[in-house]
Structure 1
Amino acid sequence: MKNNIVVAMVLISSLIFAQEKKISKSAVIIFEASVPSFEEVKATNNNVTLVLNPATGQIASLALMKGFRFKVALMEEHFNENYMESDRYPKALFKGKIEGFDVNSLTPKPKDFVINGKLELHGKTAVIKAPAKISQSNSGINLQSNFSVNASDFDISIPAVVKNKVANKINIQVDAVLK
């Protein structure tokens, strides 16, 4: 009987804890590695999961690599098979913290924050410091961030044949509404 009460208390407390978190399963990540005068190298993933703990400012994100869509199907195939090796490295994972985050200070007007964390991609991890604009709306907590990473930091090699057509510096845009 005593054990049942302890188990019930643990389950209830974990449910309460889970309800504090804000989640988006439809966050959007757009990345671009285009070089001027060449074909656009850009993809969008509309099914990114993003989780925020408003009490602590802890934030985490998961994007499946095969969820990125390009305008050109052949680019998507090369991205998954040659660059990202998506079967071997199927996801990108970010874990971090929004510095100075206070959910009670959010308003409809976006406020500037900095997100510090680690991005795990292609079997490598890099420290990321990204600016973010965060606001509160009727839909939830809106988060937008733009930052850049280098493909070489994640051991993503760009073949010599296309080195002039694909940038090493990859611009990343994140948009999410957390509910």
Structure 2
Amino acid sequence: MKKLMILLLFFGFIAQSFGQKYYTKTGKLDFEGSVEAFEPVKASNETTTAILDVSSGKIAVLGLVKGFRFRNALMEEHFNENYMESDTYPKATFNGVVNGFSITEIGSKKEYTVEGDLTIHGKTKKVSTTIIIVKNGDTIEVSTNFSVAPGDFDIEIPSVVREKISGTIKIAANFSLVKR
């Protein structure tokens, strides 16, 4: 119940601070940390929340760590309990700004740079990456791909499985945002 209240307050605060907003509660985050010759290490979360303020270019994303689904239940359990410690660190967030964003300039595919703070496993790191934005009628499609290193976020990979997990985790984010 406490976690739900914190999430509601978080999104209430974000909603208050934004102007004209587009949002989704069904955004998709995928990650892959596979190494050839071993079982694929990948998961998907289709319950990610994202909000884009088109008047300022501010963007906020929140994904619950326990929302990631693996093809193997044991892998999912190890991910939550041993690596991400999702009871202690239940969410991953990004708060940033899409540089040079203007709602009037998008229509067909447009590429921007987004900069901000990525928080995973309780550790925050500044990131900058390319983001693609397309406006289709009343919907804004947002997508990006970037990589992170588990060590940058104090995520420890036990030596017994270290060879089976890549030192660089590829992340793909896709959001279909509608006007709020």
Question: Which position in structure 2 is the counterpart of 1:157?
Answer: 156
Equivalent residue runs for 1:3-18 within 5 Å: none
Q: What is the rounded CA distance, in whole Å, between the counterparts of 1:164 and 1:127 in structure 2?
A: 27
**Is the 8 Å Cα contact of residues 29 and 174 (structure 1) preserved in structure 2?**
yes
Matched, 1:91 2:91: yes
Question: Which position in structure 1 is the counterpart of 2:115?
Answer: 116
Structure 2 segments unaligned to the other structure (5+ residues): 1-14
Question: Which position in structure 1 is the counterpart of 2:174?
Answer: 175
Change (3 A) 1:22 1:143: same
Change (3 A) 1:93 1:16: closer
Question: Which position in structure 1 is the counterpart of 2:49?
Answer: 49
Look up the equivalent residue of 2:111 and give its one-letter code: D
Look up the equivalent residue of 2:30 and give its one-letter code: I
Equivalent residue runs for 1:68-79 within 5 Å: 68-79=68-79
Matched, 1:26 2:14: no
Q: How far 1:138 sits from its partner (Å)? A: 2.4
Q: What is the rounded CA distance, in whole Å, between the counterparts of 1:174 and 1:110 in structure 2?
A: 16
**Counterpart of 1:70 in 2: which secondary structure?**
coil
Offset from partner CA, 1:41-64 (integer Å, 9 cap, x none): 000000000000000000000000
Runs of 4+ off more than 3 Å:
15-19
**Counterpart of 2:166 in 1: which secondary structure?**
coil
Q: How far 1:168 sits from its partner (Å)? A: 1.9
**Is the 8 Å Cα contact of residues 116 and 126 (structure 2) preserved in structure 1?**
yes
Q: What is the rounded CA distance, in whole Å, between the counterparts of 2:94 and 2:16 in structure 1?
A: 24
Q: How far 1:151 sits from its partner (Å)? A: 0.3
Matched, 1:40 2:40: yes
The aligned length equals 164
Look up the equivalent residue of 1:122 and give its one-letter code: H
Structure 1 segments unaligned to the other structure (5+ residues): 1-14
- Bigger Rg, structure 1 or 2: 1
Change (3 A) 1:41 1:139: farther
